[in-house]
Amino acid sequence: MRKLAALVVLGCATLSPGFAQSSATRDTVTYRMREIRVETSPYAQAADPVTQTTVTKATVERLYIGQDVQYVLERTVPSVISYSESGTAVSNYGTFRLRGIDQTRVNVTLDGVPLNDMIDQGVFFSNIGDLTNGMSALQVQRGTGLSTNGTASFAGAVGLTSPSLSLYGDTRNPMANVQLSGGSFNMLRGSAAVRTGSIDSSVNMYARFTTLSTDGYRRHTGTTANSAHVAARWQDATNTNSLQLTGLWGRTQNELGYYPVPKALAEADPRTNLNDSADVDDFGQHLVSLAYQHVLNENAVLSATAYMGGAGGDFFTGFRDTTGLTLLNYPLENRHYGAMASIDVRMSDLTLRAGLHAYTFRRRNWETVAPDLDRPYYDDRTTKNELSAFARAEYALGALSFLADVQVRSVSMSFSAPGMIMVTEALPEHRWTFVNPRVGARYALSSASDVYASFGRTSREPTRFDLLGGTQITDGNLPVLRTPNTVRPEHVNDLELGFRAASDDVSLDVTAFAMFFTDEIAPIGPYIDQLFVQLRKNVESSRRLGLEVMSTVRLHRTLQAEIAATLMTSNVARFAPENIGIDTVFNNVTPILTPSAQVLATLRYQPLDQLSIEAGVRYISSSFTDLTNADGLVLPEVIDVNARVWWNILGEHRIGVMANNLLDRMIVTNGGSTFDGTSTVPTYFVQAGRNFMVMLDLRF
């Protein structure tokens, strides 16, 4: 029976620990059922005409000393900027922007299972700490990318691949790993993992538990967190059927620092936190998925996954006056259930893929005043349902290949506020149906280089915050809820042109992109009344044009240079502010928090097999904090010098040291604007000054 080329399936049950890279560096595992080769991954393959960066397991291990996901991405992927409210890379609420677009516009999945909060559309990495640890790979698709599950891939998509439980190769062997970390701001972290290896040639299991505590850089922004990641995989003797059960769990207590700090206060004391010391949260999150995969025949594979998850807890915020401290609580509870199925069929040079995904997401938001925590003065419910389907065709014609991908999403969101006097009628359901097409072509110039072009269109519905402009249903936002599409859905047309080449000593990846937006729900600078998130407004027309470059050059057998850079120009054609007492219309302004230049340059020196030394510098140009682009309403440029050392001892055991912001500069990667009584001023979230982390990594 002849050997077949790889079959790739969209689904949670992955048989490969990573993403296909190139014929020389492919980080996947090949399984044999008779003479059939099956390689599966829910994400893009290296040959796809998609703007993508895959962070392999080896790269993660080289960088990782406990950082949250976004801090690994910003060190490996162009156009990513991250921040944390504590100012450190390992704790508290944080997020990232991709091409200047915030993370609620980025789809995030684990083995194809959505991680985004479907209603707010963000991902709260703080809820499940240590998520990066042990991952087989992380892939970032920039731009509209390929069809994926869950929230819209508007700015891009991030896909995480779980630790491999292959019954072949090294992963069939038992493994244990213990990590002990310490660092600045009283950071202590411990993590332990175990893998059983192959049991009776059919079962493999994995478990990791992590605990963390830190004071945070900014005052009273400490974190205490515990998390776990468990998985078990069964595969039959013929490799025809497999089942994988995966579970994530986390519980975190954060001291809160979400109030943006006016520039003058931040410059006088970068560690300023305007939140009260009594402002704390206690949140947990969990996700369980069960994935099944069946090899139908030598040309087809079927995958199906069911998942369920939830999140919730307390979010206390206080204010003090002459009567003392009043402590409010903004708790929430999420519950969601979903299922997906996909089929992959290979016919000579034609590959067909199709899939379905459905979920329901239910949210309760309520508010109380301590100590009467069981007597809410406010209570509402939000329900979101989605049914989506995609179809994809890939055709190879010699050195030329084509890809066509279309996704249809049908989304509904409904609100209710039982017992609220102002809501005297049932609120209408908000419904959206989107058709998201993508097409692309790739031409192989040689076995080690190619060029590609792609075009994609993605549409995206508003979030709960976009509709309410706050945390409550009020008289002010009831007209929006009563009249669907008052806040219009946003659309992007994305054109990507790329060149990729690699040799033993040099790799180069260059992408030119042009993103044209209609009705972008753009952040305007100020924050909602509760100061959790920035206010947003539909802007009729906007664009982002840019060039991204990634390159690696081996200067010597012991020395390697790497660079990741982005040059971008951005524009909002027209912005008309509301409720600020002026009728001025601003034309051709720059979107907020969208720098025109980002550069990350790294030198890696390895004089011995056991020793690796890295030094890097990151530059981010200044960016506006208010959509009026008024003078002075900017974040300052960032210059961040860092270093990392890994030393292998006694075999595979390692000691790692990471030093950040060695020049001890003031680093600000997120902010906004506020009116201080006389004028509008910029607000900052300052990141940590010079800081260090050390990790002992024991492998058995």
d(CA 399, CA 614): 38
Partner residues linked to 361 by β-bridges: 336, 384
Nearest Cα neighbor of 331 from 283, 386, 266, 259 is 283
Res 580: pLDDT:
54
d(CA 413, CA 361): 9
Question: Is beta strand 106-110 parallel, antiparallel or unpaired with respect to 156-161?
Answer: parallel
Estimate to the nearest angstrom the gap between the alpha carbon of 310 and the chain centroid.
Answer: 18
| Spans of all domains in the chain | 31-699
What would the 3-class secondary structure string for 494-543 be?
EEEEEEEEECCCEEEEEEEEEEEEEEEEEEEEEECCCCCCEEEEEEEEEE
Which two three-digit tokens encode residue 326? Answer: 């009043």
Nearest Cα neighbor of 157 from 139, 175, 184 is 139
* Preceding amide of 376 cis, omega within 30: no
Partner residues linked to 553 by β-bridges: 506, 561
H or E element in which residue 456 lies? strand 449-460
Estimate to the nearest angstrom the gap between the alpha carbon of 230 and the chain centroid.
Answer: 21
d(CA 257, CA 34): 58
Residues 6+ away with beta carbon under 8 Å from 631? none
DSSP per-residue letters across 58-115: HHHHHH-SS--HHHHHTTTSTTEEEEETTSSSSSSSEEEEETTEEGGGEEEEETTEE-
Res 8: pLDDT:
30
Residue 368 to residues 328, 374, 658, Cα–Cα distance (Å): 6, 7, 43
H or E element in which residue 228 lies? strand 223-235
Res 579: pLDDT:
56
d(CA 269, CA 263): 10
Give the number of residues written for the chain: 700
Residues 6+ away with beta carbon under 8 Å from 610? 647, 648, 649
327 neighbors 281 (Cβ within 8 angstroms): no
**Identity of the residue numbered 110:** L
271 neighbors 695 (Cβ within 8 angstroms): no
Which two three-digit tokens encode residue 610? Answer: 């056991």
Res 40: pLDDT:
54
Residues 6+ away with beta carbon under 8 Å from 292? 13, 241, 242, 243, 303, 304, 305
DSSP per-residue letters across 143-176: SS-S--SSS--SSEEEEEEPPP--SSGGGGS-EE
Res 1: pLDDT:
34
d(CA 356, CA 340): 5
CATH superfamily of 31-699: TonB-dependent receptor, beta-barrel domain (2.40.170.20)
457 neighbors 144 (Cβ within 8 angstroms): yes
Query: Residues 234, 239, 241, 247: is their CA dihedral positive or negative?
Result: positive
640 neighbors 599 (Cβ within 8 angstroms): no
Nearest Cα neighbor of 10 from 170, 134, 150 is 150
Mean per-residue pLDDT pooled into runs of 10, the chain (700 residues): 32 33 34 39 88 94 92 96 95 94 96 95 92 93 95 96 87 94 97 95 96 97 97 92 96 95 97 94 96 93 97 91 88 96 93 96 94 91 97 96 97 86 82 98 96 98 93 88 95 98 96 98 84 85 98 97 98 83 85 97 96 97 96 96 96 95 97 90 97 96
Res 35: pLDDT:
34
Which two three-digit tokens encode residue 393? Answer: 């065709």
**Identity of the residue numbered 75:** R
Nearest Cα neighbor of 652 from 307, 177, 245, 51 is 177
Partner residues linked to 174 by β-bridges: none
681 neighbors 263 (Cβ within 8 angstroms): yes
